[in-house]
Amino acid sequence: MKAAVLYSTVPRTGTAPQKPSYTDARPLVVQELDGPEPRAGELGVAITYSSLCHSDLSVVDGSRVRPLPMALGHEAVGRVVSVGAGVSDVSVGDHVVLVFVPSCGDCRACRSGRPALCHRAAEVNGSGDLLHGEALLRTPSGERINHHLGVSAFADYAVVARESVVVIDDDVPDTVGAMFGCAVLTGMGAVLNTAVVTAGQSVAVFGLGAVGLSAVMAASLTGAGSVIAIDPNPGKHQLALDCGATAVGTPDDAARLIKEAAGDGVDVAIEAVGSPGVIAACLGHVTRGGAVVSVGLPHPSAELTVPALQFAGAGKRLLGSYMGDAVPGRDIPLYLGYWREGRLPVELLHTDTRPLTEINEGLDALASGQVVRRLFQA
Ligand SMILES: NC(=O)c1ccc[n+]([C@@H]2O[C@H](COP(=O)([O-])OP(=O)(O)OC[C@H]3O[C@@H](n4cnc5c(N)ncnc54)[C@H](O)[C@@H]3O)[C@@H](O)[C@H]2O)c1
Ligand SMILES: [Zn+2]
Ligand SMILES: [Zn+2]
């Protein structure tokens, strides 16, 4: 099998997106690995398309600390090619979306109906193992390669836990299905599950990558009265309007646009950047009783300093949202239903498709904001 393996991180210096450097540094090595067979509870999946998310870039630049070497990639679609012992509800040939939290079904979070926060999944995702056993990936010389979030999708094949897939209808185009496992699940869920936006509310979305744009689509879908989409990259603004935003602008425009649309603040602000400064700004942009949803993943050393009185004094809430607080087996079919009805234009998130050998160029394209979602074929 073929996979893209990260052996060492390449930190981005400075804070602004840097000029192309991954193209030169080539941190991801596309190489042959021994293709493992699925064990009990696992599946072998032929990956059709994988998709590059900012969280992959954050592993490469060291902001998401993961054990290396690791075969990266966590957003993908494929077909089941082999089924391990004990799996009775998935068959060879099934069309599957891969999801990055393989929920165990039995921990405190799973038992309380919040599988995206599964304790066991957090443990194995952190160690680079799989839900049903130790990491399986090996180089031909026998070196262990860690799995990324139970998926390792920048590859032509993956062995994953049964719990890492959701079976979808055969006719869903792979270029659409590929983005449901992370971007769509995360952005939609932040609005529908975490904030529980209702018709008529005002919503501001900060950060118009695929995650933020999915939040824009969700807010529009629920009938939010205004959807204000903010990104310093003007190249993202038309796309946000196409996704259903009612106003777009840069961070400098945010206060004015929010005042025009929602008076003293929006009901809900979604932070899909990963910046403490933007989280703090969002708290300032919500009205009394409003909620900020923190979706972006800041560097682990980053700290948030905000006026403390606004919580009790103005009833503001700061809510974390991992994988959109999703129940993937419930939410992916639900969102695909919206897509079928023409209410969720997920195609807009797909910028282009490239061979997996160009994955390093893809890191530069994402870092510089040239692409929303670039899909890869091994
Ligand atoms: N919580 C989760 O489960 C989860 C899942 C997936 C991704 N993420 C995180 O969500 C974030 C977004 O992911 P993505 O793949 O959409 O990223 P992306 O790089 O495609 O998009 C981020 C966008 O933020 C914009 N931005 C930068 N500074 C900004 C500012 N000050 N104000 C407003 N916008 C600003 C950039 O121009 C860019 O368009 C990342 O931090 C990623 O790691 C979280
Ligand atoms: Zn992701
Ligand atoms: Zn669990």
162 and 213 assigned to the same domain: no
Considering the domain architecture, whether residues 76 and 225 belong to the same structural domain is answered as: no
What is the pLDDT confidence band of residue 17, given thresholds at 50, 70 and 90? low
User: 156 and 45 share a domain?
Assistant: yes
pLDDT in tens, 154-169: 999 999 999 999 999 9
Choice from 54, 331, 352 to test ligand 1 binding pocket (greatest atom count within 8 A of CB): 54
Distance, in Å, from the CA atom of 347 to the CA atom of 365, rounded to the nearest integer, reads 19
Asked whether 335 and 344 are in contact (CB, 8 A), the reply is yes
pLDDT at 14 over 70: no
Q: What is the mean pLDDT of residues 129-134?
A: 98
Confidence of residue 194 (pLDDT cuts 50, 70, 90): very high
- Which amino acid type is present at position 40? A
- Check if 371 has its Cβ closer than 6 Å to any atom of ligand 1: no
SS (H, E, C) the chain: CEEEEECCCCCCCCCCCCCCCHHHHCCEEEEECECCCCCCCEEEEEEEEEECCHHHHHHHCCCCCCCCCEECCCEEEEEEEEECCCCCCCCCCCEEEECCCCCCCCCHHHHCCCHHHCHHHHHHHHHCCECCECCCCECCCCCECEECCCCCCCECEEEEEHHHEEEECCCCCHHHHCCHHHHHHHHHHHHHHHCCCCCCCEEEEECCCHHHHHHHHHHHHCCCCEEEEECCCHHHHHHHHHCCCCEEECHHHHHHHHHHHHCCCEEEEEECCCCHHHHHHHHHHEEEEEEEEECCCCCCCCCCCCCCHHHHHHCCEEEECCHHHCCHHHHHHHHHHHHHCCCCCHHHHEEEEEEHHHHHHHHHHHHCCCCCEEEEEC
39's tokens:
């064990």
Nearest one of 169, 144, 158 to 45, comparing CA atoms: 158
Share of the chain above pLDDT 70, in %: 98
Q: Is residue 329 part of a domain?
A: no
Average pLDDT of the residues in 341-349? 98
CATH number at residue 18: 3.90.180.10
The answer as to whether 332 is a domain residue is no
Is 331 domain-assigned?
no
207 has pLDDT over 70: yes
> How confident is the model over 181-196, as a mean pLDDT?
98
Q: Which residues of 192-213 are buried (b: 16+ CB within 10 A; e: fewer)?
A: bbbbebeeebbbbbbbbbbbbb
| Whether the predicted pLDDT of 365 surpasses 60 | yes
166 and 24 within one domain: yes
Kindly report, residue by residue over 18-53, the tens digit of the pLDDT.
566 899 999 999 999 999 999 999 999 999 999 999
Residues 193 and 134 occupy one common structural domain: no
pLDDT digits (tens, 9 = 90+) for 90-124: 999 999 999 999 999 999 999 999 999 999 999 99
Indicate whether 16 pLDDT > 80.
Answer: no
**Most ligand 1 atoms within 8 A of CB, residue of 18, 55, 99, 243 to mutate:** 55
Mean pLDDT computed over 322-326: 98
Residues 108, 249, single domain; the answer is no
Q: What is the tally of structural domains in the chain?
A: 2
Range of the domain at 365: 2-178+345-377
Give, as residue ranges, everything with CB less than 5 Å from ion ligand 3.
103-104, 107, 110, 118, 120
State the average pLDDT for the chain: 97
Domain membership flag for residue 337: no
Q: Could you report how far apart the first and last alpha carbons of the chain are, in Å?
A: 10
Tell whether 204 and 260 lie within a shared domain. Answer: yes
Averaged pLDDT for residues 260-275: 98
Structure tokens that stand for 325 in this block = 């607080």
| 12 — pLDDT class (breaks 50, 70, 90) | confident
Report whether residue 319 contacts ligand 1, using a CB cutoff of 6 Å: no
Residue bearing the CA closest to ligand 1, atom 18: 209
pLDDT in tens, 273-303: 999 999 999 999 999 999 999 999 999 999 9
Does the beta carbon of 212 sit less than 6 angstroms from any atom of ligand 1? yes
Tell me, yes or no, whether 44 and 147 share the same domain.
yes
Q: Which ligand is nearest to the CA of 190?
A: 1
| 295 close to ligand 1 (CB < 6 Angstrom) | yes
Spacing, Cα 197 to ligand 1 middle (Å): 20
Give the per-residue pLDDT at 18.
52
Q: Quick one: 18 and 147 in the same domain? A: yes
* Cα dihedral 152→158→164→165 (10° resolution): 130
The answer on 304 and 214 residing in a single domain is yes
- What pLDDT shows up at residue 13? 67
**Inter-residue contact 220 to 242 (CB < 8 Å):** no
Cα–ligand 1 centroid distance for 213 (angstroms): 10
Neighbour-count burial for 7-45, b at 16+ CB within 10 Å, e otherwise: eebbebeeeeeeeebbeeeebbebeebebbebbebbbbb
pTM: 0.98
Q: Are residues 132 and 274 in the same domain?
A: no
117 lines ligand 1 (CB under 6 A): no
User: Which ligand 1 atom is at minimum distance from the Cα of 295?
Assistant: 1
> For residue range 63-76, what is the model confidence (pLDDT) as tens digits?
999 999 999 999 99
Choose the final residue of a domain: 307, 322, 337: 322
Band of pLDDT at residue 83, cut at 50, 70 and 90: very high
Q: Kindly state the percentage of the chain with pLDDT values over 90.
A: 97
User: Residue 335: inside a domain, yes or no?
Assistant: no
Mean pLDDT of all residues in 318-346: 98
User: Does residue 330 form part of some domain?
Assistant: no
Name the residue among 260, 317, 308, 259 with its Cα closest to residue 288: 317
The closest residue, in CA terms, to atom 34 on ligand 1 is 207
207 CB near ligand 1 (under 6 Å): yes
Predicted pLDDT at 20:
61
CATH number of 192's domain: 3.40.50.720
Residue 70 within a domain: yes
Residue 15 has pLDDT above 90, yes or no: no
- Cα 33 from chain centroid? 26
Residues 241 and 164 in one domain: no
